[in-house]
Structures are given as C-alpha cells and as structure tokens.
Amino acid sequence: MSMPFAQICSKMSCMKEFLKSKKVTYNLMSFTAFKSMILFSYLLEQPRSYEEIKEYFKNHEFLRESISIDTLRVYINSLERLGCEIVRGRKAEGSKYKLLKHPFDIEIPADQIKSLIKVFKSLSKTIEIDDLISLTNFFDKIAKEINNDELRTALVNISPLRKINHEILDLLINACRRNDQISFMYNSPATGIKEIELLAEKLSVTNNKLYLYGISPQYKDSKASFLVTRITSKPIIRLNKTISIKITPLIVGCEIKDKNVPILENEKVIQEDDDKITIEITSDNKFSTIQRILSLGSACEVKYPESIRNEIYSILKKMKEEYIAEKI
C-alpha cells in the first residue's frame, strides 16, 4: 500500500509547477495540512524513525524546515484520531513509527466479497482465458486486504486457475492460438501418467475447471479434453503437424418431456409438441453429452443414434445395480 518514492517525486514536481504558475501562495493553502499529508505519505512507504522524518522534512524541497519530536507526536496523535493505527517499534530496531492501518485502505465488506464470488462463477464461463487470468490476479491482490480468513480463502479459491502452473498455462494459450501440435505428460485419473499427442484447439472452463480441448490420435471418436491441473509437463511443440484426424460431430436426438428445460448452446429444438420437445445435441465430446443426458433424468429419452441409446441404457442399469449391490 505504500507510495513509491518516484510517485512522491512526481507529486513534488506537480507542486513545483503549481507554485511556478503563481496561482497560489502559501497563505492560500494550509501549510500544516500539507505537512501532515507529506508525513502520512512518507510513513506509507515504510516505517520511519524520528531522525529520518526530521531529515526528510529538512531536505524537502518545499518544506525546508525541521520538525521537533513534540510536533511530530501531535501529528501522530492527529492521524490516530482519524483512524490510523501507528505503533513505534523497538529501540533496538531504530524506534521507527509504523503505520499499521489507515482509513484509505481498501475495506471490502463480506457482502461485496460474496457478490464477487457469485458473479465470478458466471463470468468465468464466458470470458476469454486472458481476462480470466487478469481477474484471478486481481482477486489475489484484493484478497490480501480481507481480514476474514474464510472469505479470503473463498475468493482466492474461486478461480479455476488456482493450482495451475502459469508457465504451462502460458504455453498452452499460445499453442491453442496457433493450433499447434503438442505433446505433454498427463496424469489421467483412469490410467495414470501418460504422454499425450494433441492438436491444441481451445482452453475452456466447465464446472469451474479449466480444460484443454483438441484432436488426439489416442481419442479418435471425439474431441479430447484434458484437465489442465493434471498436465504435469510443459507442452513440447512439434515442428511438423502429423495429426490429420477429422472428427465428425456427434448428433444425438432426444425427446424431452419438459418444455421448460433450459436449452444449451449446442442444442437445437427440432420439433415442438403440446407436452414435449425434440432436440438435437451436436457435440464433439461424447462424455459431456452423456452427462448432459443423464442429468435430465426421466424427462429425457435418447431417440438416436442407437449406440448412444444403448450406452445410456447400459449406464442406467449399472447405476441401479450399484444400489441393489449395496442392499445385499
């Protein structure tokens, strides 16, 4: 929170310029008020001893006067009245005055933090990855000003970019922009660490997690997606692109017996009846399509293709078996 020296200097030059213009003279301003602002700014930078403050005032281009310890105490008392918390350090450390708290600190009340968390969830799905990085960094910065541990942790943890290696992320962003063919080590939840070859396409947030999407010879049926937190090595860019797989989008026809279900971006209503609608889901990712269908429960019946219909049926039977097995 402290003001850098260069900034103080720029303020001084501003003062100089102002005085040069002769629009104001000392009797047209409050010199004691000005001195208190100088002192406050000086303490904002870092803790200062009386001797340092005295020297600073003496050498100050416009003040050119010393300050007695009694006068300094009066200024300190005044700042404390205004809500500053100033302590004097140990003698062994130079008896420096330290500004712990002041009324110009950003104070973020709990309701504002909760609202930030609330909108972040919504924003993170919509904004570009660069903006998401900016927001994450900004939240990290303001989190330092939050006293409540729980809220501070909640604000820092809300970003899907937490725990992500920023060096890896930067390389992935560039690879997606150039549509590079890359290889990297991936810690798969199903099969453990393995090398992945991928034509990188995009980075996107789903369920508050960042995924890398692309085309991989290891996943020929649909677009491959990888949780970025599980990428364990920096991606290596291949000079020659060898992946030439064409992915045919998966088209699934579903009958929905609830006309009030929110339709997603990759879904299209192709028929509307009194009590139901028929939609077509177009997707590059079979896994997410199946998850979407399951989440709609009994309101949704897959009509085509037969392979997806069978797969859903098989999953549902396994789900039922889990509960039966539990009873036994």
Partner 1 sequence: MQKKFKEKYNEGCIKIFTLLRLLYEDKADYEAVMKIFTENDEDKQHVILNKYLNTLKVFGVKVIKSNNKFILQNNPFGERFGIDDIKSVQILNNFTNLLPKGKTKNTLDKFIKTVEARFDDKANEIYAAINSTSNADFSFYYSDTREQIEKCEKFCQEDYKVSIKYLSRGNTICAICNAKQVIYDNKNAYIQIYKINEGELAQILIPNIISIEQIPSQKNPIEMHYSVTYKIKGRLAKAYNLKENEYLQDTLADGSKIIMNKNEPPEVLLKRLMRYSNECTIISPKNLKTRMIEMINDTLKNYE
Q: Tell whether residue 262 is a contact of partner 1 (CB under 8 A).
A: yes
By the rule CB under 8 A, 90 interacts with partner 1: no
* Per CB under 8 A, 304 contacts partner 1: no
Rule CB under 8 A: is residue 273 a binding residue for partner 1? no
Q: Is the dihedral of CA 203, 204, 208, 209 positive or negative?
A: negative
CB of 273 to partner 1, least distance (A): 11
Residue 33 interacting with partner 1 (CB under 8 A): yes
Binding residue for partner 1, selected from 65, 80, 93, 273, defined by CB under 8 A: 80
Phi, psi of 230 (to 5 degrees): -95, 0
Q: Specify the residue for token string 């006068």.
A: 71
Tell me how far apart the alpha carbons of residues 86 and 176 are, in angstroms, rounded to a whole number: 51
**Beta strand residue intervals within the chain, DSSP E:** 85-88, 97-101, 181-188, 192-206, 209-216, 219-227, 236-237, 250-256, 267-272, 277-283, 300-304
In the numeric block, the tokens 């393995």 are attached to 194
Q: Name the minimum Å distance from CB 248 to partner 1.
A: 24
From residue 10 to residue 29, what is the string marking binding to partner 1 with x (rule CB under 8 A)? Answer: xx--xx--xx----x---xx
Kindly indicate which of the ranges 103-111, 216-224, 234-242, 278-286 contains the residues binding partner 1, using the contact rule CB under 8 A. Answer: 103-111
**Contacts to partner 1 from residues 128-167, by CB under 8 A:** 131, 133-135, 137-139, 141-142, 154
Nearer to partner 1, 199 or 292 (CB): 292
Check binding of 305 to partner 1 (CB under 8 A). Answer: no
| Identity of the residue numbered 50 | Y
Q: Does 54 bind partner 1 (CB under 8 A)?
A: no
Q: Minimum distance between the CB of residue 207 and partner 1, rounded to whole angstroms?
A: 8
Q: Which long-range contacts (CB under 8 A, 24 or more apart) does 236-244 make?
A: 236/182, 236/183, 236/184, 237/175, 237/180, 237/181, 237/182, 238/180, 238/181, 238/182, 238/183, 238/197, 240/181, 241/180, 241/181, 241/199, 242/181, 243/181, 243/197, 243/198, 243/199, 243/215, 243/216, 243/217
Q: Which is nearer to partner 1, 180 or 267 (CB)?
A: 267
Among 42, 57, 75, 186, binds partner 1 (CB under 8 A): 75
Is residue 290 within the footprint of partner 1 (CB under 8 A)? yes
Report the distance separating Cα 221 and Cα 219, nearest Å: 6
| Distance from C-alpha of 16 to C-alpha of 82, rounded to nearest angstrom | 28
Minimum CB separation from partner 1 for residue 288, in Å? Answer: 9
Residue from 112, 179, 218, 271 binding partner 1 (CB under 8 A): 112
Asked if 232 is part of the footprint of partner 1 (rule: CB under 8 A), the reply reads no
Nearest CA-CA partner of 210 in 157, 268, 274, 160: 160
Instruction: Report if residue 321 touches partner 1, rule: CB under 8 A.
Output: yes
125 binds partner 1 (CB under 8 A): yes
Over its C-alpha atoms, the chain yields an Rg (Å, rounded) of 31
Nearer to partner 1, 6 or 92 (CB): 6
Q: Which of residues 168-187 bind partner 1 (CB under 8 A)?
A: none
Size of interface with partner 1, in residues (CB under 8 A)? 103
Residue 240 or 297: which CB sits closer to partner 1?
A: 297
Of residues 192-231, those binding partner 1 (CB under 8 A): 208-209, 227, 230
From edge to edge, which strands make up the β-sheet containing 219-227? 219-227, 209-216, 192-206, 181-188, 236-237
